[in-house]
Structure 1
Amino acid sequence: MAGPSGIIAAGAPGFITTRSQALAADTERYVLQGGGTVVLALAAGESVELQLKDGGQSVELAALATDGRDALAALGLTANVQPFGIEQALSGQSEDAQRVRAGLARRGLTIANARAALIFGDDAPAGSREQFTATQAITLIMGAPARQMLVWEQTPASDVTVLVRRNQLRQPGVFRAPEPLAQPRLDLTIDIASAISFEVHEGEYIQILDVAGRQCSDFLGFRRRALDRGLLRGLDATTTRTMTGQAYPKPGLYAKFFDEDRTALVEVVHDTVGRHDTFNLACTPRYYEDMGYFGHANCSENLNAALEPYGIASHRGWPAINFFFNTNVDAHNAIWFDEPWSRPGDYVLLRALDELVCGASACPCDIDAANGWLLTPIQVRVYAADAFFKRSIGYRMTPDSPPQSTRETGFHPRTCALTRSFAEYRNFWLPTSYAGHGAMAEYWACREKAAIMDISPLRKMEIIGPDAEVFLQKVMPRDIRKLAPGQVVYTPICYEHGGMVDDGTLFRLGQDNFRWIGGDDASLLWLREKAAQSGLHVYLRAATEQIHNVALQGPASRDILREIIWTAPGQTSLAELGWFRFTIGRIGGYDGIPVMISRTGYTGELGFEIFCHPDHAPAAWDAITTAGAPHGLTPLGLDALDMLRIECGLIFGGYEFDSTTDPFEAGIGFAVPARKEDDYIGKDALAKRRAHPVRTLVGLAVAGNETPAHGDPVFIGRAEVGRITSATRSPFLKQTIALARVDITASALETALEIGRLDGQQKRLAAKVCRFPFYDPEKTRVRG
Structure 2
Amino acid sequence: MDASLLPPGPSRSAPATRPRECVVVRGGGVAAIVLGAGDAIAIRDGEGLQPAVVFAIDGEGRADSTVLGLEGPADAGLAEVLALGGEGSAQVAHALAARGIAPAAVTGHIVLAGGHSAQTQVALTARREVLVVVAAPGGPMAPDGQDAPTDIEVTVTRAPGNERPLPAPLAEPKLDLRVPAAEARAFRVKAGDYIQIIDVDGRQCSDFLAFDAAALEQGAEFGLDATTTRTLMGAAYPGPGLHSKYYDERQIPLVEVIRDTVGRHDTFALACSAKYYEDMGYPGHANCSDNFNAVLAPYGIRTRAGWPAINFFYNTAVDHTNALTMDEPWSRPGDYVLMKALTDLVCATSSCADDIDPANGWVPTDIHVRVYDGAESFSKGTAFRMNAAAEPRLTRESAFHPRLAQMTRSFVEYRGFWLPTCFTGEGPIAEYWACRETAAVMDLSPLRKFEVTGPDAELLLQRTVTRDMRKLAVGQVVYTALTYDHGGMIDDATIFRLAPANFRVVCGEEFTGAWLRDKAREWGLNAFVRSSTDQLHNIAVQGPLSREILAEVIWTGPTQPAIAELKWFRFAVARLGGPMGPALVVSRTGYTGELGYEIWCHPKDAGAVFDAVWAAGVPKGMKPLGLAALDMLRIEAGLVFAGYDFCDQTDPFEAGIGFAVAEKEEDFVGKAALMRRKASPARKMVGLRIEGNDAVGHGDPLYMGRAQVGVVTSATHSPILKGQIALARIDVAHGATGTQVEIGKLDGLKKRIGAEIVPFPHFDPQKTRVRA
- TM-score bracket for the superposition, by shorter chain length: over 0.9
What is aligned with 1:729?
717
The 5 A counterparts of 1:652-663 are 652-663=641-652
Query: Matches of 1:770 and 1:504 in 2, distance apart?
Result: 27
Q: Secondary structure of 2:397's partner?
A: coil
TM-score under structure 2 normalisation? 0.95
What is aligned with 1:757?
745
Q: Give CA deviations for 1:415-465 in whole Å, capped at 9, x if unaligned.
A: 111111100001000011111211111000000000000000001011111
What is aligned with 2:76?
81
Shift of the alpha carbon at 1:175? Answer: 5.4
Query: Matches of 2:438 and 2:80 in 1, distance apart?
Result: 45
Q: Give CA deviations for 1:588-621 in whole Å, capped at 9, x if unaligned.
A: 1010011001111000000001000011111100
Matched, 1:351 2:351: no
What is aligned with 1:412?
401
What is aligned with 1:159?
151
Q: Secondary structure of 1:116's partner?
A: strand
What is aligned with 1:39?
32
Q: Give CA deviations for 1:4-27 in whole Å, capped at 9, x if unaligned.
A: xxxxxxxxxxxxx9972453xxxx
Matched, 1:593 2:582: yes
Classify 1:411/1:204 alpha carbon distance in 2 versus 1 (closer, same or farther; 3 Å): same
Classify 1:19/1:657 alpha carbon distance in 2 versus 1 (closer, same or farther; 3 Å): farther
Query: Matches of 1:99 and 1:321 in 2, distance apart?
Result: 30
Query: Matches of 1:250 and 1:696 in 2, distance apart?
Result: 38
Q: Which amino acid aligns with 2:28?
A: G
Aligned mate of 1:715, from 703, 713, 723: 703
Q: Secondary structure of 1:618's partner?
A: helix
Answer whether contact 1:85 1:145 (CA < 8 A) is retained: no
The 5 A counterparts of 1:107-122 are 107-122=99-114
Deviates more, 1:132-141 or 1:249-258: 249-258
Query: Matches of 2:135 and 2:377 in 1, distance apart?
Result: 21
Aligned mate of 1:614, from 603, 627, 630: 603
Q: Give CA deviations for 1:625-669 in whole Å, capped at 9, x if unaligned.
A: 111122111110001000000011100000000000011111111
Matched, 1:239 2:236: no
Query: Matches of 1:242 and 1:46 in 2, distance apart?
Result: 48
Answer whether contact 2:238 2:257 (CA < 8 A) is retained: no
Q: Secondary structure of 2:394's partner?
A: coil
Deviates more, 1:126-135 or 1:689-698: 126-135
Answer whether contact 1:502 1:653 (CA < 8 A) is retained: yes
What is aligned with 2:493?
504
Classify 1:428/1:733 alpha carbon distance in 2 versus 1 (closer, same or farther; 3 Å): same
Q: Give CA deviations for 1:31-76 in whole Å, capped at 9, x if unaligned.
A: 1111211122233333332111212222232233333332233332
Q: Secondary structure of 2:365's partner?
A: coil
The 5 A counterparts of 1:456-535 are 456-535=445-524
Query: Matches of 1:676 and 1:358 in 2, distance apart?
Result: 65
Runs of at least 4 residues of structure 1 off by over 6 A?
A: 250-253
Shift of the alpha carbon at 1:352? Answer: 0.9
Matched, 1:326 2:312: no
Query: Matches of 1:380 and 1:617 in 2, distance apart?
Result: 38
Classify 1:251/1:499 alpha carbon distance in 2 versus 1 (closer, same or farther; 3 Å): farther
RMSD: 1.7
Matched, 1:555 2:544: yes
Q: Which amino acid aligns with 1:52?
A: D
Query: Matches of 1:138 and 1:22 in 2, distance apart?
Result: 23
Q: Which amino acid aligns with 2:59?
A: T
Query: Matches of 2:283 and 2:62 in 1, distance apart?
Result: 58
Matched, 1:742 2:730: yes
Query: Matches of 1:219 and 1:540 in 2, distance apart?
Result: 44
What is aligned with 2:295?
306
What is aligned with 1:775?
763
Give the count of matched residue pairs. Answer: 755
Answer whether contact 1:35 1:85 (CA < 8 A) is retained: no
Answer whether contact 2:61 2:99 (CA < 8 A) is retained: no
Shift of the alpha carbon at 1:762? Answer: 1.1
What is aligned with 1:436?
425
What is aligned with 1:140?
132
What is aligned with 2:249?
260
Q: Secondary structure of 1:545's partner?
A: helix
Q: Give CA deviations for 1:736-782 in whole Å, capped at 9, x if unaligned.
A: 10111111111111101111111111111110001110110010000
Query: Matches of 2:324 and 2:81 in 1, distance apart?
Result: 48
Deviates more, 1:653-662 or 1:235-244: 235-244
What is aligned with 2:9?
none
Q: Which amino acid aligns with 1:109?
A: I
Classify 1:726/1:702 alpha carbon distance in 2 versus 1 (closer, same or farther; 3 Å): same
Query: Matches of 1:703 and 1:477 in 2, distance apart?
Result: 37
Q: Which amino acid aligns with 1:643?
A: M
What is aligned with 1:4?
none
What is aligned with 2:11?
none
What is aligned with 1:7?
none
Classify 1:123/1:481 alpha carbon distance in 2 versus 1 (closer, same or farther; 3 Å): same
Answer whether contact 2:549 2:616 (CA < 8 A) is retained: yes
Q: Secondary structure of 2:229's partner?
A: helix
Query: Matches of 1:538 and 1:137 in 2, distance apart?
Result: 39
Q: Which amino acid aligns with 1:41?
A: V
What is aligned with 2:270?
281
Q: Give CA deviations for 1:138-163 in whole Å, capped at 9, x if unaligned.
A: 32222222211100000101011112
Q: Secondary structure of 1:73's partner?
A: helix
Aligned mate of 2:61, from 62, 68, 88: 68
What is aligned with 1:222?
211
What is aligned with 1:702?
690
Classify 1:295/1:252 alpha carbon distance in 2 versus 1 (closer, same or farther; 3 Å): farther
Query: Matches of 1:84 and 1:573 in 2, distance apart?
Result: 44
What is aligned with 1:181?
170
Answer whether contact 2:238 2:246 (CA < 8 A) is retained: no
Deviates more, 1:454-463 or 1:131-140: 131-140
Answer whether contact 2:230 2:237 (CA < 8 A) is retained: no
What is aligned with 1:5?
none
Classify 1:439/1:704 alpha carbon distance in 2 versus 1 (closer, same or farther; 3 Å): same
Q: Secondary structure of 1:429's partner?
A: strand
Matched, 1:295 2:284: yes
What is aligned with 2:680?
692
Structure 2: which 5+ runs fail to align?
Answer: 1-13
Q: Secondary structure of 1:319's partner?
A: coil
Q: Which amino acid aligns with 2:29?
A: G
Shift of the alpha carbon at 1:114? Answer: 2.2
Q: Which amino acid aligns with 1:60?
A: V
Q: Give CA deviations for 1:293-332 in whole Å, capped at 9, x if unaligned.
A: 1111111111111111111110111111111110111123
Deviates more, 1:48-57 or 1:741-750: 48-57
Deviates more, 1:236-245 or 1:727-736: 236-245
Deviates more, 1:358-367 or 1:572-581: 572-581
Query: Matches of 1:294 and 1:211 in 2, distance apart?
Result: 28
Q: Secondary structure of 1:558's partner?
A: helix
Classify 1:155/1:85 alpha carbon distance in 2 versus 1 (closer, same or farther; 3 Å): farther
What is aligned with 2:304?
315
What is aligned with 1:677?
665
Q: Give CA deviations for 1:477-512 in whole Å, capped at 9, x if unaligned.
A: 111111111111100100000000000101111100
Answer whether contact 2:422 2:628 (CA < 8 A) is retained: yes
Q: Secondary structure of 1:20's partner?
A: coil
Shift of the alpha carbon at 1:85? Answer: 4.9
Aligned mate of 1:20, from 17, 21, 34: 17
Query: Matches of 1:345 and 1:97 in 2, distance apart?
Result: 20
Q: Secondary structure of 1:753's partner?
A: strand
